[in-house]
Structure formats: structure tokens, C-alpha cells
Copies of this chain bind each other. A is one copy, B any other.
Amino acid sequence: MSDIETVLGETIRASFANQGAMTLIKATVPIVEAGRAEIHLDHWAGIEQQHGFIHGGVVGMIADSAAGYAAMTVVPSGASVLTVEYKMNFVAPANGEKLLARGRVVRPGRTLIVTQAEVFALRDGKEILCALMQQTIMVMHGKPEK
């Protein structure tokens, strides 16, 4: 990991730690690189839906966040990011010991950034695609992340 990526990682982990909702579901953000971020989430009872899989809303939360953090890595210092909109497709139940949400910047722009994310369930050592997302992020210049 380069120095820049270390700084990115620190800024993003500090932002993450300030998000009550990410703490509530027990998500972590172990991977942050230029244009990419990854959120991990262990499976526990508190985030399940009625069939014992991880709730689709929680899958959406970590996909949205992973792609938003990916966007945060490409904006200038002094700017922050805001989700304008996203679209999620669910392709398999979130059935595994752990979820991995991988966000990446597809096209950075001065005002808008387009990203994609994929969410995988880790089950018996295999990664199974559960959801994919396409998202628009707005850059808030002159409004740094708190």
C-alpha cells in the first residue's frame, strides 16, 4: 500500500467510525485503494431477514457505502461525496459466513462520479455474487468530510 493509500485509508476509516449505522451492523472497511473500496460484514443474527439470510436492505447499505468510499478516494482534499442515486439488482440470497462489498469508480468527473459495486457471499471458501449496483455520486467541493 502506497503512502497516498495509507492516508486515504485513514481518512475513510475515520469517516466510517463516525457512522453509527456501520457500527450498528458491525461492518468494516479493510480495503481502500485509489478508485476502490471494500466493506466486509460478518453474518450475525441481528442483520438477518426472516429466512436467516442477510437482509437485502443491509446488502444495499454496504454496496452503497463501498462504492461511495471508492468515490471518496478520487475527490480532491476539501471535498466530500454524497449519494445521488443507486440501482441494485439482487441475484442470489445473501447466504454465507460473510459478505464482501466491492465498490469501484467507473468514471470520475468534477461534479458527478459514476461507480459500480458487487456484493459477494463467502460460503465454504467460495465467493458467490449476490448483488450488483450502479450508482451516481455528487462531489461537494469545499465541504470536507467531518
Binding site for B on A (CB under 8 A): 15, 18-25, 45-51, 54-58, 60-62, 64-65, 82-92, 106-107, 109, 111-112, 114, 116, 129, 132-134, 136, 138, 145-146
User: Which residues of B sit under 8 angstroms from A25, Cβ to Cβ?
Assistant: 21, 24
- Contact among B19, B24, B48 with A19 in the assembled complex (CB-CB below 8 Å): B48
**Chain B nearest Cβ from A109, distance in angstroms:** 7
A23 (CB) vs chain B CBs: closest residue: B46
The reply to whether A51 and B146 contact each other, CB–CB distance below 8 Å, is: yes
Query: Whole-angstrom distance between the alpha carbons of A136 and B111 in the complex?
Result: 14
B136 contacts A134, CB within 8 Å? no
Q: Is the CB of A62 within 8 A of B51?
A: no
